[in-house]
Homo-oligomer: A and B are copies of this chain.
Amino acid sequence: MPRLNIGLIGLGRLGRVYARDLAGRIPESRLVAVADNAGTLAKDIAAEFEVPRSYTDAMALIDDPGVDAIVIVTPTDAHREHVLASVSKKKPTFCEKPPALSLAEIATMKRAIEQSGALFQMGFMRRFDAGYAAAKKQIEAGRIGMPLVFKATSRDPFRPSLEYANPASSGGMLLDMGIHDFDLARWFMGDVRSVAAIGATIAYPELATVGDIDNAIASLTFTSGKLGVVDLTRSGIYGYDISTEILGLEGTIRIGYLRETPITIMTKAGGVAHDTVPYFMERFRDAYTNQLQNFAQNVLQEKAPPITIDDGMEALRVGVAATRARETGATVTVADVR
């Protein structure tokens, strides 16, 4: 099996997970270079995972002739720069979601990708989760008939830092947390026509100081006329809870679980108890690996990536629409968001 020589840019928390995946868990990949502008981070990670070359300058990694494909996991505001540089070198490029926080920026990236002809794959790891993938397959096989209603719940188990939550950098809760659900909504149901939303700061009043909310509900009307609803909370204190349902004309399918391990404990004190899922890395660990493996396979086999920059752009557009709807109290037509 040939291996793809990959360079990884961005070594934050998720970046380090990707380094381990690319170096030692994906048979189709070989991690040949890492880059991060923070001190000796790249050097340290290179040492830990036996990566031949490390850079503090992402551009140097992109230029490295031994690097055949690029994985970008830098902060969102750096995505554009790295994607533009990578595709200009015609290197196959993977970029974490969201592509950017402004539609204009994404439009620039889209043009650059199209002009370069480079393979570009957008990251939305939930599509690679065994549960979501199985649901998609069952729906395509007609198991629940025509999909009618999309329902999604996303709950983070604790409050983010005020710095992180600041809508200036996060885009605000409906966008920051909701973008995964809006992508799933489009994946299962097609494009969204309009959005209405309510939201409030009712769990963590301090979030109001930076202008963010902690609970929200968005109602979606799809262009097909079908309906959807997404509810989000930053205060899912009992555990990380990501649940989705697609109700069809012939049945329904639910994705999600609350148990980290297949054990059940019952005691006098605690009734029936399952261990809940701590956070996204426990829930979607395999999905992240599958996603990168899929990217490597697409490059090696010259297959079209299943998730494109358009998917990134449209999910963001729904998120922006939801945010505006929440702020104005009016229903927002997605196509009007530019």
Contact = CB atoms under 8 A, between A and B. Distances in A.
B131 A262 contact: yes
Interface stretch (A113-121, A217-225, A313-321): A217-225
A254 B247 contact: no
A198 B151 CA distance: 14
The secondary structure that dominates the A interface is mixed
A256 interface: yes
Contacts of A237: 249-251, 267-268
B200 A198 contact: no
B266 A271 contact: no
A149 interface: yes
Given A215-B148, A252-B236, A271-B273, A263 B131 contact: yes
Contacts of A219: 196-198, 217, 219
B276 A274 contact: no
Interface residues of A, number: 78
Contacts of A135: 263
A144 B265 contact: yes
A271 to B, nearest CB: 4
Given A49-B27, A135-B263, A266-B252, A227 B217 contact: yes
Interface in A217-274: 217, 219, 221, 225-229, 231, 233, 235-239, 247, 249-268, 270-274
B199 A227 contact: yes
B231 A151 contact: yes
A24 B25 CA distance: 5
A238 B251 contact: yes
A202 interface: yes
A256 B225 CA distance: 29
Nearest to A271: B273
A273 B272 contact: yes
Interface of A: 1, 3, 20, 23-28, 48-50, 130-131, 133-135, 138, 143-144, 148-149, 151, 155, 196-200, 202-203, 215-217, 219, 221, 225-229, 231, 233, 235-239, 247, 249-268, 270-276, 329, 331
5 contacts: A25-B25, A130-B260, A133-B261, A238-B266, A238-B271
